[in-house]
Amino acid sequence: MEQLTIGIIPAPDLPAADAEAIKDDLPKALSTTIDDEIEWNVEIEVSPLTGAAEKVKDIMEEAKKLLDKNNWDYAICLTDLPIFSGKNVVLADANVADCVAQISLPAFGALPTPKRVKKTVVHMVKELHTRHMDKDNEQQMLQKGIGPLDKREQKGFFSKLKGAFLFSPIRRKSSPQDIDGIGVGVRFIIASRLIGLVHVLLGMAASNRPWTIMPSFKGVVALAFASGAYGLIFPTLWQLSVNYEIPRFIGLMIASILAMIIWIVFAHNLWERPKKDSSNHLRMLYNAATIITLTTSILMYYFVLFLLFLVAVSIFVPPDLYGAQTDQNIEVTHYIKLAWLVTSVATVAGSIGSGLEKTEEVGKITYGYRQYLRYEQMKQIEKKKEEEKYGKSENE
Indicate the Cα dihedral angle 72, 78, 82, 87, nearest 10°.
50
pLDDT at 27: 93
Percent pLDDT > 70 in the chain is: 78
Q: Who's near 312: CB < 8 A, 6+ residues apart?
A: 225, 228, 229, 232, 339
pLDDT at 150: 47
CB 346 within 8 A of CB 305: yes
Over range 242-269, report the average pLDDT: 88
pLDDT-based confidence at residue 395 (cuts at 50, 70, 90) = low
Residue 361 has pLDDT above 70, yes or no: no
Query: How far is it, in rounded angstroms, from Cα 122 to Cα 21?
Result: 14
Residue 310 has pLDDT above 90, yes or no: yes
Query: How far is it, in rounded angstroms, from Cα 278 to Cα 5?
Result: 35
Please state the domain extents for the chain.
2-202, 208-365
Over range 251-258, report the average pLDDT: 92
Domain 2-202 has CATH 3.30.300: no
Residue 214, phi then psi, degrees to nearest 5: -60, -40
By mean pLDDT, which of 32-46, 96-110, 193-207, 357-371 is the weakest?
357-371
Each residue's pLDDT tens digit, 291-305: 998 899 889 989 999
Residue 283 has pLDDT above 60, yes or no: yes
Whole-Å CA distances, 296 to 209, 211, 292, 347: 10, 8, 6, 15
The burial of 4, by beta-carbon neighbours within 10 Å (0-12 exposed, 13-18 middle, 19 or more buried), is given as middle
pLDDT-based confidence at residue 67 (cuts at 50, 70, 90) = very high
Residue 10 has pLDDT above 90, yes or no: yes
The strand ranges marked E within 251-330 are none
What average pLDDT is seen over the chain?
81
More confident residue, 151 or 360: 360
pLDDT at 279: 67
Q: Who's near 223: CB < 8 A, 6+ residues apart?
A: 349, 350, 353, 354
Q: Cα 154 vs. chain centroid, distance in angstroms?
A: 29
Residue 327 has pLDDT above 90, yes or no: no
pLDDT at 69: 93
Query: How far is it, in rounded angstroms, from Cα 79 to Cα 101?
Result: 11
pLDDT-based confidence at residue 68 (cuts at 50, 70, 90) = very high
Neighbours of 180 (CB within 10 A): 17
